[in-house]
Every structure is written in structure tokens, then in C-alpha cells.
Structure 1
Amino acid sequence: MATKNETRISNFILLGLSSEFQPLLFGIFIIIYLFTLIGNTMIIIIVSLDSHLHTPMYFFLRSLSVTEMLYTSVTVPRMLRDFLHKDKEISHISCAAQFYFFCCLGAAECFILAFMAYDRYLAICHPLHYMTKMTKNKCLYFSLGSWLSGLVLPLGNIIMVFGLPFCNSNIIDHFFCDILQVIHLACAEVPPSTLVVVKLYVLIYSFLVIPLPFMLILLSYTRIFISILRIRSTAGRKKAFSTCGSHLMSVSLFFGSATITYLRTEAIKTYGGPKVWSLLFLVFVPMLNPLIYSLRNNEIKIALKKLGHKAFSGVYSKSIL
């Protein structure tokens, strides 16, 4: 319970990215956001329309693109809004909702990346049984499982963290409602045992959605690399590596930037703090993934050319008529 001198707060203030160049930052980040939406939308359309891409690998890629579009849309529009407004207040409910969907979509992306690694493991290590082990139904179950896990697992975080009493300070030094920032705003009179339970649950949740999927990815790629090293031909090895290259880059960018952001080291504090590093996996990675998969993947390139040719031919034929 809060003492009489403490005032309960129902709203928070997001400090955001404090800078003298707010309009310039707005212009930069809205361009990045639009590129993210356009790039991921193109991946979704290409995979959906081209029948040659109706395979498990591209099914997961489409799910990843949908997740990243929603994931970046949870935080970036609010950040863009705050660049142009002096009033940076966010209600208790809106903060909780933003945090929930941030956790939900982030967890779903971690699991989807893990299932994509498992898909590559089956394709390379068990090619003869791949189509029987990775069926369309299994792909659907894996995707639904990723989304359901993302929807359910953060509920405990929301109930525990936002069930705490907040008083005195209501300033969140971030551009979105980050869990670690919010916990620090809890009243001083909250029993230490309660804070321990909350932090323990957050730790368990973090383990389930970040290290656990990453360990599954690491296990899959360990088996993949062992199988690739057994391939005698150089061309066979190169082909096997090429099917994993894009996914490995996505995993490295996402998990690497997230890990760096939440390692509260002096280096992180010195070079901009966690909120600046958060831009890596919240803003830049969702924009880079469509480029990674389109530039490094020949099948996506071919499908994109076909789609462009059909669209151009349709416009040209209409202009003649």
C-alpha cells in the first residue's frame, strides 16, 4: 500500500528519443516504417500468389513477415506521434496493452524463427522424409502454436507488473512501455517479496521466449552443420549452406540485438542507453528481413520478376485498349 504522502498515478509519460531534431527523426523513422510495411507486404503477396513458393519454408517466411509488420506497428506509430507532440502522456491501460502486444508478437517471432530452423534441419538432415515430416498441417500447427504461446505467456507479466501500485514518478525513460522501466516505478512500499515474485516470473518468461527458442535453433544448426560437413561435393555444401544463409542472418540480427539491448552493461549505457539499442530489433531488423530474403533468395527473385512482369503486361494491355 502507498503511504499518505504518495500519490497513485494512472498515467505514464514516455520520454522517447529526446533530441533537438524531432522533425528530422520523424522523417527518417517514418520512411523506415513505410519500407518495413512495403517490404513485408511484398513477401506476403509473393509467397501467397506464386504456387512454386507454397512450401513449408515460405509458409514460415510469410508468418514471419506478418508477425514483424504487427510487431513494429505496436511501438513505431506511437514513437512517430511523440516526435510531433509535446504531450507524451500514455494511459495505464494503453501502456499495459502496448507492453502485452510487444511481448506477444516478440515471443511469436522467437518461436517462428525456431520452427524455421527445425524446418531447415529436416530438409537437410532428412531430405527423403522431409515431405512426410513437414506437412501443411504441421506447418499450420507450428504457426498457430507460436501465436498461441505469444498470446498466453505474457498474461502473467501483465497481471503481475501492472497489478503493482505506482506512485510518485510516472516517467518512463523509453519510447515504449518497456517492462524493466515500468517495474522501477512501483511504489517503495511494495513488499520486497512481491517484487521478487514479479521479477522471478519475468525471468522465467524471458527464458521461455528467448533462450529456449535460441537453444533449439542452436541445436538444429549444430545438426545441420554436421550433416553439411559430411557432404563430399563442394557444390552440395554450397547449396545446403545457401538454404540456411538468410535465416541465419535473421536469427543473428534479432537475437543478437535483443540480447545486447537487455544486457545492462556500461557500454550499453555509454552509447545511447537501452532505448537507442532497442531501435535495432524494433525498427531496423523488421525492415532488413525482407531485403535479406529477397536479395539472397533466387526463388523470391524469380517470383518477384514474374509478378512484376504480369503487373506490367496488364497495365500495358489496358493502355493499348
Structure 2
Amino acid sequence: MSSSPAVSISNLTFSHTPPGNPNAAVVALKDVSFHLSPRSITLLIGGNGAGKSTLLYILAGKRLIQHGKVDVFGKDVFKDFPPNLIYLGTEWAMNAGVRRDIVVSDFLNSVGGYRHKERRDRLLDILDIDLDWHMHAISDGERRRVQLCMGLMGEWDLLLLDEVTVDLDVLVRDSLLRFLKGETISRGATIVYATHIFDGLNDFPTHIAHMRDGYFVLNPTPWPLNPSDVADSQIIFKSGPSLHAIALHWLASDRAFRTKEEKEGRRVKTRGPRNHITSGDVDRESFYKKYIYVHQNPHMSTDTMVSQI
């Protein structure tokens, strides 16, 4: 593998149009530029809607960009897609096709498991998978383990993870993270990982980044952070440089930033309780007061109420 950047993004801006409103473009990423070196593990930190998933989708070649340049191992990800790139996201386990009555051993062989027997067997042990499981009869967490085994058993060079460890128990997750870290050390692989679970991650990333509203408040920066790398360093490092404490502070500051913009009239307030009543609100309230069972029988349980509708 060359010493050139594993990922190179320059002046990336990406917009999408919400369903049913083609004239209202939403800017999901704003002027993003950074480089990631081989062997790095970058943790993306940001609230829901910050742009993490959009960025990973673009890196995986799943979203065509309107402005900027995205290269993976020196290749334009849209014109010359690198075969050594793996994207693993949460939507896979919800696909009806992987919830059919398929034996796990047959499923893995159908996607080439027999070609990667040594790595496949190692992952079967790490992820604690039973080859006799049937895909339709296992839990979401077990199905997620099968997805990870399927995606990781080849020798990938860039791995994009989008919340894909959310269903794993703590033991399997820890074993998986150790395996992934070893891949970056022994093979020079690169990982970009978006998650909201920060426990047990202090020794995992080589870089962390802070995303807010589609832009990078902090570009990928070596971890552990130096106080000089970030604003509010005295607050962040007061309880020690833990990822959980830093993520908590950053997400709280993101919410405070949004609230300040709403009060100053630079952003329309759409979240939380509404302080004004529209005609639509009145109509809905009148309907529910008239028809919902709970108003007719305040002592009725929610389960009973739903079962009678």
C-alpha cells in the first residue's frame, strides 16, 4: 500500500431534497476538506443529523456529489471505485432478503466465505456465531454479527462503519474492536467509524472529529487530544480526557449553539414543545377528545386501548 492518503476530501458540499418538496434543497455537508492516512482509525462524533451518515455514504460511493472531490487511495470514488472498500451500516439487517430461512453457513458461503476460510473462521469465533443459525430465527444482534462476519472476512483496506455495533453485547463489541485495531496495525488498513456509544473506546481511535450541521467543528485530529487542539479545553479536560466526557460536552454545545441561533432568529425553532397553537393543532385535539378511548375511560390501560382500536 502506498504512503499517499487513504482518504482525501476537498471542498465537498452536498445537498439533498426532502421528499415531496423538490424546491427545498437541504445542505447536508458544507465545504468539507480533510485527509486520512493509512493505519488511522477516525471516530466521527456528532448528534443525529450532523452529517456523519451522509459523509460515510459518499465515501462509499453511494451518493453522487455536486461539488468537491472525494478520493480513496488516490482514486475518484465515483469514477474508479476501489474494490478494497467496505461499508457496513444499520440498514442491512432490516432488509427482508436477509431475514429469510437461510442457514448461516450457506449464507456466508453464498457471498464467498469459502474463499476466506481462515479469516472467516477467526471472525466466527470473535463474533460468537453459530453456523447452524437460521437467519429468520435469530435476534437483531445475532443477525448483526453475521453481517459483520460477511463484511470483514475479506482483506479490506478502508472500512466505513455507521452505527453497526449498536446491537452487539459488550463482550462481542470489545472483541471486534480489538480485531479491527489489529487490522490497522498488521495490514495498514484504515477505519472511519460513526457511533453514539463511547464506552470502552478510549484506546480505539487514532483520530477523532466533531461534526455539527454538516460541517466539521474539528477536523480529524490525533487522539488523545492536546488542550491546544480544541476550544473549551479547560471544560473538556476537567474530568480527564475521556471520549464519553468529550462527546457529551460537544453534543451539549451543539444544542446550545442551535438554541442560540433560534433565539436570535437565524434558525426556525422546530424541536421541543410548541408555544403557539395553530388551527391544525385545535382540529387534532378536538378529534382525539371526541374519539380516543382513553378520554371515554381514563382508567383503561394503553395496551387495552390499542387492542380495541
Higher strand proportion (structure 1 or 2)? 2
TM-score with structure 2 setting the length = 0.26
Q: Which has the higher contact order (CA 8 A, sep 6+)?
A: 1
TM-score with structure 1 setting the length = 0.25
